Amino acid sequence: MTPDAHTPDPRTTLARPDLAEQALEGLVRAAAYRPVRAMEAAVPFADIHAAADPASERIDQLIYGEAFDVLDQKGDRLWGRARRDGLVGWISASA
């Protein structure tokens, strides 16, 4: 199922019902809005997963030095968006 023109694509929109990036305030509904924190991959390769569980589907990968905009953290997992291609997912904080 693909999103229609009125529904943001969750694969590329940094928003959930509880939290969205501040730039989306007024465009998407969320309980809270926050600015992103820019980070860079510090390892040769870092997997981006669809869910916080590291065993979930790998949807993308960062290479050393690539930017990742972080919006949330749960334990050692960061939720954000790969700046290169815009995919949203979870990555290890140590990466």
When divided into structural domains, the chain yields a total of 1
Q: What type of residue is 59?
A: I
Let me know if residue 29 belongs to a domain. no
Of 32, 33, 10, nearest to 23 by C-alpha is 33
Let me know if residue 15 belongs to a domain. no
User: Mean pLDDT score of the chain, rounded to an integer?
Assistant: 94
Let me know if residue 50 belongs to a domain. yes
pLDDT at 72 over 60: yes
Q: What is the CA radius of gyration of the chain?
A: 13
Q: Give the domain CATH number at 51.
A: 2.30.30.40
For residue 68, the enclosing domain spans 36-92
- What is the pLDDT at residue 64? 98
Q: What digits encode the pLDDT tens for the residues 7-21?
A: 789 899 999 999 999
pLDDT at 5 over 70: no
Q: What is the mean pLDDT of residues 13-35?
A: 97
